[in-house]
Amino acid sequence: MVFCLSHAAFLLILRDPSRPRAMPGPGLVLYLVTLTELNDVAQFLWGKSLGRHKVVPTVSPNKTWEGLLGGVATTTLLAWLLGPVLTPMDRAQSLLAGLIVGVGGFFGDINLSALKRDLGIKDTGTLLPGHGGILDRVDSLTYTAPLFFHYIYYLFQWHTFGVGGGARP
C-alpha cells in the first residue's frame, strides 16, 4: 500500500524541463485525490440509486454495474472540467485521466475488498456511514496513484527533481 500511495508524493517533485520554475505537483495531487474520492462517492451514489446488476458479488456484494458506469462517467466529466484548471493537461488528456482514475479506483476498491474479505474484516470504521472507514478512503488510491503518476510521467516526459538529466530523447 505504501508503495502505491508513494506515487502521489512523487507527483509533487515532477518537473517540466522546458519550464524549470513551474510547480505542477500540487495541482496534480489535488486533481488525483479529488477525482479519486469523488469517484468513490459517485459510484456509491449511482449504485444506491440505480444499482441492480452486481459486478463481483462474491467480493463486494454492493458493487453494481450501474454504480461503476455512472461513477466512471461522472469522474470522466469532472476530470474534463478540472484538468485544464488544476493541471497542465488539455481537455483530451484530462478525459483519458478521468477514465484511468474511474476504472483504476474501482479495481483498487475491489482489490482491498477482497483482502478484507479474506481477513474477515467487514468495515474498518464507522466515521462515514456506508463507506466502511478510513481504509475505504485510500483503497482506490492504491491503484489510481501509480496509474495516474505513470500516465503523467510518460505523457509529458518529465523527470523527477534531482533524477535524470532532462527530457528524454
Element (H, E) at 39: helix 25-50
pLDDT, tens digit, for every residue of 34-76? Answer: 999 999 999 999 999 999 999 999 998 999 999 999 999 999 9
- The mean pLDDT value of the chain amounts to 86
DSSP 127-146: SSTTT-STHHHHTTHHHHHH
CA distances from 133 to 42, 123, 125 (A): 17, 6, 4
Residue 157 pLDDT class (50, 70, 90 cuts)? confident
The answer to whether the beta carbons of residues 124 and 168 sit under 8 Å apart is: no
Compare 79 and 156 and report the one with higher pLDDT. Answer: 79
Residue 94: exposed, middle, or buried by beta-carbon count in 10 A (0-12, 13-18, 19+)?
A: buried
- Residue 17 φ then ψ, to 5°: -60, -30
pTM > 0.95: yes or no: no
Predicted pLDDT at 168? 42
